[in-house]
Amino acid sequence: MKNRNISLSYIIAALNNAFFWYAPWLLFVYKYINIEQATILQLVGLVVRSIAEVPTGAVSDLLGKKRTLMIALLLSAIGEIYMGFSTSFIQFIIVYIIIGLGQSFYSGTIDAFIYDSLLEKNQTKEYPKVLGKSNAWVSIATAMATITGGFLFQIWAGLPFVVTGVAKLFGLLTVFFITEPSVDSLAFSFKNFIKMTGQGFSNLFSRQLINCTLLLLIAGSFSTIAYEILDDVAVVDWGYNAVGISILYTAAILVSIPSGFLYSYVSKKLKLKTLILFGGLFLASNYLLSLWINVFIWTGLFLIRVLYSPIKKAAIMDTLNQNTDSSIRATTISTYELLNKLPFVLFGIPIGILMKDFGVKSFSVGFAVTLVILLITYILFNKFHQNKTLEI
């Protein structure tokens, strides 16, 4: 398969996800702010990304994927470099807003760009393979950046952020060499912007997609909670120190790399819904026995879950792309990302209170039980719905 856009998309995705600050970011902000302010920063970043997801997706579908990727990488680069020189809470807030906007412009756009680039050349059958390779290269780039970032931090605390910003600038340079996929699009206007945003929601909850949407939201929202707060708190609760966390996260990234290449194979053997269900069950198993196991077993379960995570993520994107028209692809993906983050935005503070009052391990068990109940409910609902359809 020869597709210049796809080859360049691997480079763009790798450079965008080369987060050199992944391990030492908390140590950096602790030099200037306390833990309460650091928590607020995380929430600010997530709220900005959540609010901006759908509008930026609509902009991508109307303005074009190439221009939107340029905006995304430019904003991210500015935010990352500014972060390296920031020394106050107010400056950090500004940085998180800028980076949050950049990530919102990027998230739905890159997936839509990849799929539309294949669609343009009648190569959509290659999508699982391309998505797997893209996820694998992202994992490789993140792992290399994570390891390097620790050494950069020893030279100068702000250096990991500056180098991350420079990587984004190289990504921006790469975008100049891609071509806009020839797919249906509308001229940019405020009227079309509002229309596109509405169509993204309508498509996600259409009769064709609603059954899949319910599963996607269950799997995605619980993964968001785990990624945004539970994983970080849990590793500390299990006794990992700063060095141990850095090693664990690097190992987690490395073990996930093979899964990116395996997706094209497993997606031919199992249905997408089944792959997503497995992802939810792996997440639940990681925390279900927290009160009765030791740190070694928990770590093993964590690494197994991370190993499978790229397959689940690819299956979610594959499901959305297969059921979405090109003209609203980025909008629909961004709408999903918004709804994905919403539970944590709404319940992030109560979740923190529950972990403090009942303990991280007890909360983890409740988290896992809730996820299992929702997955079983979905399976039973889906089976009942299919039986009713057959009767009709």
- Mean pLDDT score, 293-303: 94
Q: Is the pLDDT of residue 248 over 60?
A: yes
The segment with the largest mean pLDDT, out of 87-91, 241-245, 321-325, is 87-91
Q: Is the pLDDT of residue 188 over 60?
A: no
Neighbouring residues of 111: CB distance < 8 A, sequence distance ≥ 6: 317, 320, 321, 329, 330, 333
101 close to 75: Cβ distance less than 8 angstroms:
yes
CA distance 355 to 352: 5
Q: Is the pLDDT of residue 364 over 70?
A: yes
- CATH value at residue 323: 1.20.1250.20
28 close to 87: Cβ distance less than 8 angstroms:
no
Q: Is the pLDDT of residue 265 over 90?
A: no
pLDDT for res 35: 65
pLDDT for res 30: 77
The segment with the largest mean pLDDT, out of 44-58, 87-101, 352-366, is 87-101
The first and second tokens of residue 323, run together, are 């059921």
pLDDT for res 289: 94
316 close to 219: Cβ distance less than 8 angstroms:
yes
pLDDT for res 391: 46
Least confident residue range of 52-56, 76-80, 122-126, 143-147: 52-56
Q: Is the pLDDT of residue 190 over 60?
A: no
pLDDT band (50, 70, 90) for residue 389? very low
Share of the chain above pLDDT 70, in %: 89
Other residues' Cβ atoms within 10 Å of the Cβ of residue 116: 24
Positive/negative CA dihedral, 137, 140, 143, 144: negative
3-state secondary structure of 183: coil
Q: Which domain range does residue 138 map to?
A: 4-180+188-391
- The candidate with the shortest Cα–Cα distance to 73, out of 37, 110, 42, 119, is 110
Q: Is the pLDDT of residue 383 over 70?
A: yes
CA distance 120 to 332: 19
CA distance 19 to 24: 10
Mean pLDDT of the chain: 83
CA distance 327 to 192: 12
CA atoms within 13 A on the CB side of 181: 32
pLDDT for res 313: 85
What are all long-range contacts of 116-125, with beta carbons under 8 Å and residues at least 24 apart? 116/65, 116/181, 116/183, 116/326, 116/329, 117/3, 117/5, 117/6, 117/9, 117/181, 118/3, 118/6, 119/181, 119/183, 119/326, 120/181, 120/182, 120/183, 121/3, 123/1, 123/3
* Domain count of the fold of the chain: 1
Q: Is the pLDDT of residue 348 over 80?
A: no
For residues 346 and 327, the model is more confident at 346
3-state secondary structure of 290: coil
- Mean pLDDT score, 51-77: 81
pLDDT for res 200: 73
> Angle, nearest 10°, between helix axes 295-322 and 89-120?
50
Neighbouring residues of 197: CB distance < 8 A, sequence distance ≥ 6: 54, 55, 57, 58, 331
pLDDT for res 333: 77
